[in-house]
Amino acid sequence: MTHTRYAFVKANWHSDIVDRALDGFLELIPADQVDIFDAPGAFEMPLIARDLAQTGRYAAIACSAFVVDGGIYRHDFVAQAVVDGLMRAGMDTGVPVLSVSLTPHQYQETDHHNAIYRDHFVQKGREAAQAALKVTETRAHIAAAA
């Protein structure tokens, strides 16, 4: 069975920036083929992605988050845990889980930085859509050759 549905999970922290990845994703994949889910933050995305993958409904799942240094915890630790968890969700379920989880070295909550990252997330959303479409196509070719 060829899936034509995709899931998009977005973290609610910095949603004014993170949600732009969905905008880019929807430039390439029609909105009627995408189910959208909110996660409280980046750390919760791997669990949600795994649960979505286990439904068997999606050809691929894209997850978007912006993990920045809030001064309270090591943001690089959180970012690494998120990316590792997303990869594990994909490997454990056999459903591609794509990451649009960015962790900038330098981020200041200024209009200038926010504008740069909003634009960057649109591009990263497009790239996630391209990856979702390509991996779906490649997996279909592999299945047809088997």
pLDDT (tens digit per residue) in 93-146: 999 999 987 765 565 666 767 677 778 789 999 999 999 999 999 998 998 997
- 42 annotated as a binding-site residue: yes
Query: Residue 89: which domain range?
Result: 6-145
> Is the pLDDT score of 89 beyond 70?
yes
> What pLDDT band is residue 90 in, cutting at 50, 70 and 90?
very high
Which secondary-structure segment (H or E) carries 6? strand 6-11
d(CA 26, CA 34) in angstroms, rounded, equals 8
Structure tokens at 127: 């790239």
Q: Residue 93: which CATH number? A: 3.40.50.960
In a domain, 37, yes or no: yes
In a domain, 1, yes or no: no
In a domain, 62, yes or no: yes
| DSSP H helix total and E strand total for the chain | 4, 4
- 43 annotated as a binding-site residue: yes
DSSP state of 32: G
pTM above 0.85, yes or no: yes
- 66 annotated as a binding-site residue: yes
Residues with catalytic annotation?
A: 74
Q: In what order do the strands lie in the sheet with 97-102?
A: 34-39, 6-11, 60-66, 97-102
The gap from C-alpha 77 to its chain's centroid, in whole angstroms, comes to 18
In a domain, 103, yes or no: yes
Q: Say how many domains are in the chain.
A: 1
The pLDDT value given to residue 109: 67
In a domain, 136, yes or no: yes
In a domain, 13, yes or no: yes
In contact, 30 and 59? CB cutoff 8 Å: no
- 127 annotated as a binding-site residue: no
| Residue-averaged pLDDT of the chain | 85
> Is the pLDDT score of 27 beyond 80?
yes
